[in-house]
Structure 1
């Protein structure tokens, strides 16, 4: 079972990060954190690594609904979206599949929220240029 929703795109890496962030915003998500894995590995480990960014995305309204339903849900938030260089020379954009992620909680009251987030992530990926 895959735990991500993903797409391969063409373009400049930083432009794709910006387009992804804008598309997330259009769907009501803010980026709470932006982790530059390449920079962190170089700085902390003196290791070279491909361009790889982890965007911690949160839709406050949906997060509020989820936390009102399941207080411990915060351990699974924010939802991560990654933008990374592939070995094939394209840019990969992947989002955690919220339906798979929330299946570990085993609370049917979260099913509609998971479906809503998944639909929004699908629209985000659909808005990005094809590879």
Structure 2
């Protein structure tokens, strides 16, 4: 099993970030956390380190109803929440990569049927968001 769902989009980085946020919201996810890896590396390690990763943003996406179901079924699942979504683009790239954690990774760590149901639903919503993003380009 692959732990990430990955697509590429023909959008500039900033536009891809906006579209990812929109599609996450359209599929029931809010963004709880945001880590600008590029900015953090630049501040802590200098611009050369930041340039090695390019533009790189980690969004902590959460569907409150699904999170509540997972935490009720197994409180330790909080260690795996929220669902990380990465938007990244190397300086020399002509596409932006969008990745979402595969919620089925939760199932690998739990035998709970309730966790399987949450993972299945979360997976369907994240895949729907990624599917809506596929094929987008800056001319649309």
TM range, smaller chain: over 0.9
Deviations 1:33-69 (A, max 9, x none): 1111011000011123300100000000110011010
Aligned to 1:112: 117
- Shift, 1:104, TM fit: 1.4
Q: 1:21 and 1:29 mapped to 2: Cα distance? A: 9
Q: 2:122 and 2:41 mapped to 1: Cα distance? A: 30
1:89 alignment partner, SS class:
coil
- Asked if residue 48 in structure 1 is aligned to residue 53 in structure 2, the reply is no
Q: 2:134 and 2:63 mapped to 1: Cα distance? A: 23
Aligned to 2:85: 81
Unaligned 5+ segments in structure 1 are none
Q: 1:23 and 1:101 mapped to 2: Cα distance? A: 23
**Aligned partners of 1:3 and 1:101 also within 8 Å:** no
Q: 2:102 and 2:58 mapped to 1: Cα distance? A: 15
1:93 to 98, 101, 106: 98
Aligned to 1:127: 132
**Aligned partners of 2:12 and 2:95 also within 8 Å:** no
Q: 1:109 and 1:65 mapped to 2: Cα distance? A: 8
1:127 alignment partner, SS class:
helix
TM-score, normalised to structure 1's length?
A: 0.93
Q: 2:72 and 2:106 mapped to 1: Cα distance? A: 18
Unaligned 5+ segments in structure 2 are none
The alignment covers a number of residue pairs equal to 131
